[in-house]
Homo-oligomer: A and B are copies of this chain.
Amino acid sequence: MMAMFDLALRGEREPVPIKAVAERQGLSDRYLGQLFTPLRKAGLVRSVRGAQGGYVLTRKPDEISVGDVLRAVEGPISPVHCVSDPGACARVDGCVTRGIWRKLRDRIVEVLDAITLADLCEEAGQEQIGGKAPGGVDHHA
């Protein structure tokens, strides 16, 4: 999420190398590289190989939701396995609690799909200006 946020802040035009993202966000570049693979396969980012390469978002920040990112990296969003994968629990049939988790899952997805990368950028902009009155934050998105 932090990497995608970083890309949303910068990579509108030129590809951003993993190393730069990693340094700014305080993460390991090796680990980040790994995380970008599923993001690329999900079509959220495009990769440019070779020198001066890096990653670029394929859509505008306000067209990528937190839910999109999470699904790409972690698979189906669900509070418990049996909701997304009925075979995960032997007690599935007639389980009273399953309905709870399904309802919960729906609400969770609702929340996560409603927040976009652009929202994050806006929030971060207001927070970082911090001490001053957050009047007009100019963010292109």
Q: A-side interface residues toward B, CB under 8 Å?
A: 1-2, 5, 26, 66, 79, 91, 94-97, 99-100, 103-104, 107-108, 111-112, 115, 120, 123-124, 127-128
Inter-chain CA distance A66–B79, complex, in Å, is 14
Query: A26 to chain B: which residues have CB within 8 Å?
Result: 91
Partner of A103, one of B1, B103, B115: B115
Q: Is the CB of A94 within 8 A of B1?
A: no
- Min C-beta distance of A93 to chain B, whole Å: 10
Q: Is the CB of B100 within 8 A of A66?
A: yes
Top 7 A-B residue pairs of the complex, sorted by shortest distance between their CB atoms:
A1-B97, A96-B124, A5-B96, A107-B111, A96-B120, A104-B111, A107-B107
